[in-house]
Amino acid sequence: MNMFNKNLNRILSLIKSKLLFLILFIMIGTTAVGLYTVFIISPVYSVSSMLIMKNTPNQTNGQNNDTQTIEAIDLFQRQAKTYLEIAALPPVKEETNKALGLSPDEIAKIKSVKLTNDTGSQLVTVTVRALDRVLAERYIKEYVSQYKKFTAERLGRDNLSVVTEALGSNNPVYPILWKNLLIAILVFSFLGFNVVFIKYVLSDSIDSYEDLEELVGTPVLGMIPAIEKSKRGK
């Protein structure tokens, strides 16, 4: 227990002696991350549109019982899987790019196009992420149009309707400054403490009589105080 308290006191004393270094290290690192986030990283905007799969006469046959309901849910799930697979096909994106007349630079700004569907739901959500919010809105509107057209041609039924169109925020979804700053504080705190401790462990200097006792394995019998040079000449 005494050894534990002794080591704990040494660690606390070490941190106290290097506190200014740790604070400056964390501040400089966090500031660098903040500047990089604000001025270097390109913001990414997200825009979403929601589609619904409608019933068709062939799917319901005019009936409304429990069996038909279960069959309809199963059919929606299979349809949703098919629609998501179609969305991953190149022709949908190619036709969208062609219809909008996008340049290679504009195409490069479209970071992702993603379609999602919750199990058992008739809703399909289309999400576009891009470096330009206006471009993202233009792209998702045309993409939804081309997507509906493509599914109607390939599946032989036009049962997709737009519920919400081009919903998004004026604020980018990435990067998020406060998250990056928080991560930077944690990372540079960890690095700073590790630098201090590694330097302490690798150091072979003797800072106190406790260090000397630990090094030679025998107790210190006495200490000779340091004499200043000015006093030595008197």
- For residue range 6-62, what is the model confidence (pLDDT) as tens digits? 667 777 777 788 889 899 999 999 999 999 999 999 999 999 998 887 765 555 455
Helix (H) or strand (E) holding 160: strand 160-168
pTM equals 0.69
Burial readout 101-139 (b: 16 or more C-beta within 10 A, e: otherwise): ebeeebeebbeebebebeeeebebbbbbbbbbbebbbbb
DSSP string, 23-88: HHHHHHHHHHHHHHHHHTSPPBEEEEEEEEEPP-HHHHTT--SHHHHHHHHHHHHHHHHHHHHHHT
pLDDT, residue 14, reads: 75
Single-letter amino acid, residue 75: L
Q: Which of 87-96, 123-132, 179-188, 204-213 has the highest mean pLDDT?
A: 179-188
Q: Quote the mean pLDDT of the chain.
A: 79
Among 43-57, 157-171, 218-232, the minimum mean pLDDT is found in 218-232
Could you tell me the fold of the domain covering 45-168?
Answer: Alpha-Beta Plaits (3.30.70)
Question: Which residues, in sequence order, are bridge partners of residue 125?
Answer: 50, 116
Q: What average pLDDT does this structure show over 63-91?
A: 67
Please say whether the dihedral angle defined by the alpha carbons of residues 117, 118, 122 and 127, taken in this order, is positive or negative.
Answer: negative
The answer to whether the beta carbons of residues 100 and 138 sit under 8 Å apart is yes
Considering the chain, tell me which residue range(s) the CATH 3.30.70.1130 domain(s) occupy.
45-168
Among the listed residues 144, 117, 128, 158, the one whose alpha carbon sits nearest the alpha carbon of residue 47? 128
Q: Which of 36-50, 108-122, 210-224 has the highest mean pLDDT?
A: 36-50
